[in-house]
Structure 1
Amino acid sequence: MKIKTLILGSGPNVTDIRNHDVSGYDHIIAINNAWRITEAWTEIIFPYDFPDDRKPVTLTPDQSMITEQDFVSVQNDFGGFVYAGGTMAFTALYWSLGRHQPDEIHILGCDMVYKPTGDTHFYGTGTADPLRDDITLRDLSAKSARFMCLAAMNGCNVFNLSRDASTLVFPRLHHHVQQPKMSELVNRDHVQSITAQENELGYYVESGRYWDIKNQFDPNALERLDHAWAACGAELLAGCNAA
């Protein structure tokens, strides 16, 4: 039996999930305010500074709150925040992969593309966290390629349910099309080579609070890693398209 996880962000199109049957998901992870979209969520994941008045007041027996006490160690298992990207969309993805070990992850409301006018979030106008000046977020597409490749290495396919422009490079899900197994297509030697480069750099912050020592990181070295992951992801996507 496949294990499937759904991740919901706060992008305007996250409301599309109300038109989907979510009963087939084993876990539904809501990032920050996205728990308000559906009562079917099983986990809400948020950073240390998420305001208390935005958290759900009551939980059902099937629901839980995921905090940095939970997700930092899981993120560290995949190299840590500096390499993964320090925004909650990526944190939720790595949490899902490490904690639930799913066969498939679907994501919606996390395109991280913000229009200059109009609503930026399903609840109106909010802060575009992924666009802040942060050394780990200079190439969001490359960070998503990294996740996709590492997910494939762990036997997991990842799909974007969005129909809109996206910084995520994940393939879009077409239910009527047989989806190839990314684990059979990913270039494992390429992935291992890049992770070896990450290990050699040693940009690992056990606490997860990389911003406290951000001046210790070489932006050029991180840019080279981003380029490598982008190429690895493009190779995987090409294999998926050809399968």
Structure 2
Amino acid sequence: MNRVLILGSGPDAPQAANWDLSCFDAVVAINNAWRALPNWTHHIHPDDFPPERRPQDVQPDQHVITSADYVPAQNAYGGFVYAGGTMAFTAAYWALHALRPSQMCFYGCDMVYPKAEQTHFYGTGTADPLRDDPTLKSLPAKARRLQYFAAHQACEMLNLSGSESVLPYPRADVRAISAPVDPVMFAIERVKVARKMEEDAGYYVPSGMYWTELARFSQDVLDDIDAAWLRAFDPA
């Protein structure tokens, strides 16, 4: 099994440093998450991530992933507008495209930010998924869309978090991630509807810089697409 860990900067992220990471073929650390787990294999960050906060001592077996890598990968799955313009999803789509895993595990990527509690393992930070962005109005819908594309590649999605989480994937303990889980269930005809709605909208931005074209995106159209993805996974 080709197993990938996607590590975010949630409050629990440093616990991953205590894990036996031999079960993972790759560890993709997002933004500041490399500080929580020094033996990452891939570090992914947006172009505006401050250079002083990037890893300075990159080992020969470690790789830095930039927009030159993840923009073409994300475009292969329809682009940022439909995928959701935050790095947790960007990292996952890049991993699907570049690493072709059969199992993808998430930790520290819950994207839940209680106002009275610590939001990141390094303190209180600015929550990227909460910014005013038309692509991020429904994080659960974006998570379901990602889950479909993973299933299409025979990739199982797991959430290793023990906390409240936006990610709707089956929960698992890192010590038992080889245990079988129920297959992902979705209505393929409803998926086809969601994909056709995306195609008809035409909100594809090859450069990845979708924020430079916000004027041509209708929030109502994006909301309808999100609703279609949620319906595709609704057992009713």
Q: Which of the five TM-score ranges fits, normalised by the shorter chain?
A: over 0.9
CA offset at residue 186 of structure 1?
Answer: 4.0
Paired residues for 1:175-190 under 5 Å: 175=176, 177-182=179-184, 185-190=185-190
The count of corresponding residues between Structure 1 and Structure 2 is 233
Per the alignment, residue 93 of structure 1 pairs with 92
CA contact (8 A) 2:8 2:109 kept: yes
**RMSD between superposed Cα atoms in Å:** 1.5
Is 1:49 the counterpart of 2:57? The answer is no
CA contact (8 A) 2:158 2:172 kept: yes
Gaps of 5+ in 2: none
Q: Partner letter of residue 198 of structure 2? A: E
Find the residue that maps to 2:154 and give its secondary structure.
coil
Q: Partner letter of residue 157 of structure 2? A: V
Change in Cα spacing, 1:154 to 1:186, as seen in structure 2 (3 Å) is farther
Moved more, 3-12 or 109-118: 109-118
Q: Partner letter of residue 180 of structure 1? A: D
Per the alignment, residue 191 of structure 1 pairs with 191
Question: For 1:83-118, what per-residue CA distance to the aligned partner results, in whole angstroms no more than 9, with x for missing partners?
Answer: 000000000010111111100000111111111123
Find the residue that maps to 1:6 and give its secondary structure.
strand
Q: Partner letter of residue 104 of structure 2? A: I
CA offset at residue 149 of structure 1?
Answer: 1.3
Per the alignment, residue 29 of structure 1 pairs with 28
Q: Partner letter of residue 27 of structure 1? A: A
Moved more, 137-146 or 112-121: 112-121
Distance of 1:167 and 1:88 partners within structure 2: 14
CA contact (8 A) 1:5 1:26 kept: yes
Identity of aligned residues (%): 46
CA offset at residue 189 of structure 1?
Answer: 3.2
Paired residues for 1:152-191 under 5 Å: 152-173=151-172, 175=176, 177-182=179-184, 185-191=185-191
Paired residues for 1:1-243 under 5 Å: 2-173=1-172, 175=176, 177-182=179-184, 185-235=185-235
Q: Partner letter of residue 108 of structure 2? A: G
Find the residue that maps to 1:111 and give its secondary structure.
coil
Distance of 2:87 and 2:50 partners within structure 1: 15
Question: What is the TM-score with the length of structure 1 in the denominator?
Answer: 0.91
Question: For 1:155-178, what per-residue CA distance to the aligned partner results, in whole angstroms no more than 9, with x for missing partners?
Answer: 111111101111111111252852
Q: Partner letter of residue 208 of structure 1? A: G
CA offset at residue 188 of structure 1?
Answer: 3.1
